[in-house]
Structure 1
Amino acid sequence: MELQKTSNGHHDLSPDRIPENGYVSRFNINTRGTISEKKVTALKVQKFYMTSYLLICNLFCLKQSFFVGKTSFGMSIFNLSNAILGSGILGLAYAMANTGIILFVLLLTSMAILSAYSIHLLLKSAGVVGIRAYEQLGNRAFGRPGKILAASIITLNNIGGKIKYIINFISYSQRQKDMTTDKANYWFVDGRYLIIIISVLVILPLALMKRLGYLGYTSGFSLSCMVFFLISVIYKKFVTECPEEHSYNKTVPTESIYNSTDGMCEAKLITINPQTAFTIPIIAFAFVCHPEVLPIYTELKNPSKKRMQKVANISILTMFVMYLVTAIFGYLTFYGNVKSELLEMYSKKDTLMLCVRLAVLIAVTLTVPVVLFPIRRAVLQLLFPDKPFHWVRHISIAVCLLFLVNLLVIFVPNIRDIFGFIGATSAPSLIFILPGIFYICIVPEEQEPLKSRPKIQAIAFVTLGFIFMIMSITFIIIEWVTGKKTSGGH
């Protein structure tokens, strides 16, 4: 409260001289009559300017809060679900054929629960130190080397994911070309040219968005495309006969997962064969979304650990249902004949499946901008950690990343194999190893001792991550040595 001073320098505490909230009260003005009209007018002008000032401040704060922490709960679910969903959904029917229905369901359920637990560890670590950046958690746990390690793993994993999506786009568009134009060789249907056009006209504008939350609409549309794919797979189950008798494919695929054709059109509850071990990493990495968790958490409206965990749980549950239904109906359509990529099993002249392939193309395209955000954030954390947001840096990093990825895809033929090996190390690191280690190092001993149950669970979780990493690397080396593609990737 501002008090007026008398001529001797002391505060005048008389009631008519004490304004309420900095202003003269209406009661004092109307009843006392000790203040001149000029002073009343001056005080009213002062009140007007103060009110205007406060209104401008509130509007400014509202403008700022529009950009930070204003992504709705539903949009956050769309973005995280889109980050989880990958082209690996096309290989889950093949995975079920190599594990059997019961074993597949057990593995998929276990991985969904472990992924939710991993996000819990990540959010708990972020809550302890008040940091919502994966790279800064690494810095808090191990200093600058930890920050560099986390940023590098995120960058390599997500660039590898972008390369996979773009390669899938090229391969799908090439198949569309083969199905629709047998002899035509137009440049605009060439996958390499098409991905450049799509990158410039679709991916880049979306990648230039200031906030990840703005991509909630495109993520929702991407998910709707995959729902269309799912509905089509279910429908095809009831109108497609087993490939042994189906007219479009007279011969059984040469690489069968069985030693004989006996029981090729019979569902197996549990299957153990040499390919079974290869499918476990596919299922294990089906829920990779951890680089996007903290950026989405940062922009979530009314953010809290409980609210963000709920976003993660709903997203994982949604993807679990989509994965499970796709795998079951894809497997029960083709049984032991199913290939590592489900869409290859359907007739090339089927109009519905042509539309489905186009929907998958769109979904893959709209996933790339979501994957790009954590890469840019990691680059900014490494190169410009203390710099405020700047549009030039924001745009330059996006353009450079897209240019680099397209360059690698077009001119390095074996780039998918290289990043497949990198993914075998980065994916288990992001899902299992780093969240567990961050939790162990960041949560103080006074709160949870090293021998406490939560810390022991985190240690076991990290150990499981190293097991998956060793398995994945081993299987990739076997593929390189034998020269055979054993399974589809996420």
Structure 2
Amino acid sequence: MDSNYSALTKNSFVELQMHDENFGSTNPRSSPEDSILKLIPIDGEERHLKLQDLDNELDDDIDFDNLPLIFGGKKTGSGIYGAVFNLTTSIIGAGIMALPATMKVLGLGLGFVLIIFMGILSEFSVELLVRFTVQCKASSYGEVVQAACGRPAKILSEICIIVNNAGVLVVYLIIIGDVMSGSLRHVGVFDQWLGNGVWDHRKLVILVVLVIFLAPLCALEKIDSLSLTSAASVALAVVFVLVAFLVTVIKLFEGTIEAPRMTPDFGSKQAILDLLVVIPIMSNAYVCHFNVQPIYNELEGRSPQKMNQVGRITAVLCIVIYASTAISGYLLFGKNTEADVLTNFDKDLGIRFSSALNYIVRVGYIFHLILVFPVIHFSLRKTVDALVFEGSAPLSESRKRSFALTAVLLALIYFGSTMIPSIWTAFKFTGATTAVSLGFIFPALIALRLSKKGHGLTWVEKLLSWFMLILAIIVSIVGVLGNVYSSLRHVGVFDQWLGNGVWDHRKLVILVVLVIFLAPLCALEKIDSLSLTSAASVALAVVFVLVAFLVTVIKLFEGTIEAPRMTPDFGSKQAILDLLVVIPIMSNAYVCHFNVQPIYNELEGRSPQKMNQVGRITAVLCIVIYASTAISGYLLFGKNTEADVLTNFDKDLGIRFSTALNYIVRVGYIFHLILVFPVIHFSLRQTVDALVFEGSAPLSESRKRSLALTAVLLALIYFGSTMIPSIWTAFKFTGATTAVSLGFIFPSLIALRLSKKGHGLTWVEKLLSWFMLILAIIVSIVGVLGNVYSLKSKSE
């Protein structure tokens, strides 16, 4: 063929946009000029290609699969600066407030160098991601990961995005609540302005902000729609920087700022542990990679070169903002710099108009978070949709699914913000795990793996990719170890037996138990394999009941037990609220329904009658154990009974051998939990597999998938155990929602719906099913309302 166009060089990338929408049209009135595609000039000479020629010679000389072209009609999208604002907003969020604290640990010199270094390295990783995203024709982060590392890696990357983004959004809500309504560390803005009242209840403030401000922004379908709000959020971040910088300059001229430390402090073990902890936070600061593909997809006249320009402008902007914030914050507050520097702005800054500046910083930052929130939520929603609704129509084509997913995610994020009290813990662990993976490990692996498939890297790029990968792995390991060893210690059995040492660090103990005891049991493929361990766990529960019963009988004979209350206490509002809160916990106690089918499937000579017999024996056994435990525990400790009665067994029981009995109860209960854990994990693994690997071979036929899924789930569970400090809050909310649904609402709905399809119920069974359904709904509503109203304000 006598070609009239120039060949593309190996490193050139173009995406051709059609100048008219009649491509492929059969309209006879179309002129030849309407069927001409303009090519981007490669060598300075403009070329044209007639589409009629393509039809005649398509099979001979042109292979469209190998051309990086996207044909389409006129496309509108965001310009470079709109993309810059969106990408900058993805980076600058709550993490900016932690940077002055990292500067306090690293010192002014090393901290400043690391801010610049991490910014440059992050920008390089974004460029790698953009290049291979275009070459793989991927439309999301997960797709390019899959092209390089396979489907399991894609799922892992999507889980990382979900955990990272959901965690970040939870942190945003926590900060909004703490700043506006106050916390244990400072008084809230509403309390300062309006005094104490219903308007400064933390969870109510968060809920109102979520519904009025965040939900409408999060409902938008395109990230390009958020360009203006992103620009405003960047402007608010700049306002914060300018205020901090202005105050710092004033105090420098007044000579009231102490000389800063320029290097890290290696003078103590705690200082070294702090250094290990802040490294992941610094690496977390620039992570925006989960939004690169959505922003690129909506970039007007998109090309890798144009997106790289967006990335470079964003990197420079963020480095300037981060460095200014970190240096100003550290100089202002020195060794008193808090983990969240915003809390320092509650205090008098020592200059004129200090109160006004404090309000500008705090309220401005809240609006900054409100405007950042929907940008992070966009990629979270898209990732959850890709993971849960794989194979469905794009989310942009299903408005109902988009709204439903947005509502569910916002509800879960709000729920999370009521569960996790500290933003510092979240940043430490996400920085050392999901953020490092998304920002550095996956981009480096993508570049190194795809470079072997023909998409070459220069030797400098390959060297930098290996450096980035190795550095990220080291940062992750060091960060996790730093978190473990810097965790707060409490007095426990090991400390009482062996004294203070490495063996009694809480997170290390959990990790060792997880790896040595739980992982082997969880790796078993059949729930029937756990029969003996389940029997042992029941025996240990019986030991606990017998000890509690024995102590109670002894103290009854000694006459040292107070007369118990036989009816609920309605004497105060708080007593009624407590009553509403405990109802879901009572309903939660018997939920086992998720394991009924697996146990029935492995029951020898199975039949409904045989399984019913199993259920009845189990119910009687549990009723006896529950009643004995509840009565004995309440009689023993009376009005001092704790939410977790196990904590009462730390105290002297007032009888002989009290210490020995306490150890038997506590250690026995730990082994009971170890043996129960794999049974619950079995149904969790099976449900996740059915959700994520729908259509694949059964899990029992894929040992590798079973082990991989077990490892991932155990890692996530361990991560969750480091994040949520209180079991009581979890029981209250799960009891009023998921437990009631699994144990009562779904079973009654199943019975009532299927009875209409020929599977008849007797009138008694139908009546009981309706009673169970109505009662469960009432318990759920009452429990949720009780949980909400029993939450006290910080000032109370």
Q: TM-score range by the shorter chain?
A: 0.7 to 0.9
Distance 1:332 1:467 in 2: 30
- Out of 193, 197, 200, which is 1:189 matched to? 200
1:421 equivalent in alignment to 2:414: no
Report which structure shows greater RCO (CA 8 Å, sep ≥6).
1
8 Å CA contact 2:89–2:234 kept in 1: the answer is yes
- Out of 383, 389, 396, which is 1:378 matched to? 383
8 Å CA contact 1:265–1:336 kept in 2: the answer is no
Mark the CA change 1:65 to 1:217 in structure 2 (over 3 Å): closer, same or farther.
farther
- Out of 244, 256, 275, which is 1:233 matched to? 244
SS of residue paired to 2:300: coil
8 Å CA contact 1:242–1:335 kept in 2: the answer is no
Q: How far 1:361 sits from its partner (Å)?
A: 0.7
Q: Which deviates the most, 200-209 or 334-343?
A: 334-343
After superposition, residues 372-451 of structure 1 pair within 5 angstroms as 372-386=377-391, 387-388=393-394, 389-411=397-419, 413=421, 417=425, 420-448=428-456
Aligned to 1:343: 342
Aligned to 1:329: 328
Q: How far 1:270 sits from its partner (Å)?
A: 2.5
Distance 2:113 2:386 in 1: 39
Mark the CA change 1:423 to 1:156 in structure 2 (over 3 Å): closer, same or farther.
farther
Give the counterpart letter for 2:77 in structure 1.
Answer: K
Aligned to 2:144: 137
8 Å CA contact 1:132–1:297 kept in 2: the answer is no
Aligned to 1:78: 85
1:99 equivalent in alignment to 2:106: yes
Give the counterpart letter for 1:460 in structure 2.
Answer: F
Mark the CA change 1:88 to 1:142 in structure 2 (over 3 Å): closer, same or farther.
closer
Distance 1:423 1:268 in 2: 25
Distance 2:169 2:342 in 1: 20
Q: How far 1:299 sits from its partner (Å)?
A: 0.6
Post-superposition CA distance 1:148-201 (Å, at most 9, x none): 112111111100110111111111112385456369432222221111111111
Q: Which deviates the most, 367-376 or 414-423?
A: 414-423
Post-superposition CA distance 1:261-285 (Å, at most 9, x none): xxx8112333333233433222222
- Out of 443, 446, 469, which is 1:462 matched to? 469
1:281 equivalent in alignment to 2:280: yes
Aligned to 1:7: none
**TM-score, normalised on structure 1?**
0.76
8 Å CA contact 2:278–2:428 kept in 1: the answer is no
Q: How far 1:23 sits from its partner (Å)?
A: 6.4
Aligned to 2:483: 476
Aligned to 1:359: 364
Aligned to 2:177: 170
Aligned to 2:232: 221
Distance 2:229 2:29 in 1: 51
SS of residue paired to 1:125: helix
8 Å CA contact 1:82–1:219 kept in 2: the answer is yes
After superposition, residues 10-21 of structure 1 pair within 5 angstroms as none
Mark the CA change 1:418 to 1:115 in structure 2 (over 3 Å): closer, same or farther.
closer
8 Å CA contact 2:433–2:476 kept in 1: the answer is yes
Distance 1:331 1:242 in 2: 16
Q: How far 1:415 sits from its partner (Å)?
A: 8.8
Q: Which deviates the most, 390-399 or 169-178?
A: 169-178
Distance 2:115 2:240 in 1: 20
Q: How far 1:128 sits from its partner (Å)?
A: 1.8
Post-superposition CA distance 1:269-320 (Å, at most 9, x none): 3333323343322222211111011110111011111111111111111010
Give the counterpart letter for 1:391 in structure 2.
Answer: R
8 Å CA contact 1:94–1:341 kept in 2: the answer is yes
Distance 1:416 1:323 in 2: 18
What runs of 5+ residues in structure 2 fail to find an aligned partner? Answer: 1-26, 32-71, 349-353, 491-504, 506-796
Aligned to 1:310: 309
Mark the CA change 1:226 to 1:22 in structure 2 (over 3 Å): closer, same or farther.
closer
1:207 equivalent in alignment to 2:214: no
Q: How far 1:360 sits from its partner (Å)?
A: 0.5
Post-superposition CA distance 1:393-448 (Å, at most 9, x none): 11111110000110122245579746753442101100111111111222344443
8 Å CA contact 2:77–2:299 kept in 1: the answer is yes
Aligned to 1:118: 125
Distance 1:357 1:467 in 2: 36
Post-superposition CA distance 1:449-484 (Å, at most 9, x none): 8x9553343223211111111122112212324489
Mark the CA change 1:135 to 1:334 in structure 2 (over 3 Å): closer, same or farther.
same
Distance 2:464 2:479 in 1: 23
Distance 1:235 1:456 in 2: 42
Distance 1:237 1:143 in 2: 50
1:198 equivalent in alignment to 2:197: no
Distance 1:298 1:93 in 2: 35
SS of residue paired to 1:320: helix
Post-superposition CA distance 1:341-373 (Å, at most 9, x none): 323333267122112100001111111110011
8 Å CA contact 1:125–1:443 kept in 2: the answer is no
Aligned to 2:153: 146
Distance 1:91 1:400 in 2: 29
Distance 1:242 1:22 in 2: 78
Post-superposition CA distance 1:133-162 (Å, at most 9, x none): 111112222332122112111111100110
Distance 2:111 2:325 in 1: 12
Mark the CA change 1:87 to 1:23 in structure 2 (over 3 Å): closer, same or farther.
closer
Give the counterpart letter for 2:202 in structure 1.
Answer: G
8 Å CA contact 2:180–2:190 kept in 1: the answer is no
Aligned to 1:30: none
Aligned to 1:251: none
Mark the CA change 1:419 to 1:237 in structure 2 (over 3 Å): closer, same or farther.
closer
Q: How far 1:241 sits from its partner (Å)?
A: 7.6
1:368 equivalent in alignment to 2:348: no
Distance 1:205 1:23 in 2: 46
Distance 1:298 1:476 in 2: 38
Distance 2:416 2:101 in 1: 29
Distance 1:101 1:65 in 2: 52
SS of residue paired to 1:131: coil
Aligned to 2:661: none
What runs of 5+ residues in structure 1 fail to find an aligned partner? Answer: 1-20, 26-63, 247-263, 485-490
Q: How far 1:125 sits from its partner (Å)?
A: 1.4
SS of residue paired to 2:487: helix
Over the matched positions of the two proteins, sequence identity in percent amounts to 26
8 Å CA contact 1:157–1:427 kept in 2: the answer is yes
Mark the CA change 1:278 to 1:149 in structure 2 (over 3 Å): closer, same or farther.
closer
1:266 equivalent in alignment to 2:259: yes
Distance 2:369 2:28 in 1: 60
**TM-score, normalised on structure 2?**
0.48
Mark the CA change 1:401 to 1:311 in structure 2 (over 3 Å): closer, same or farther.
same
Mark the CA change 1:288 to 1:241 in structure 2 (over 3 Å): closer, same or farther.
same
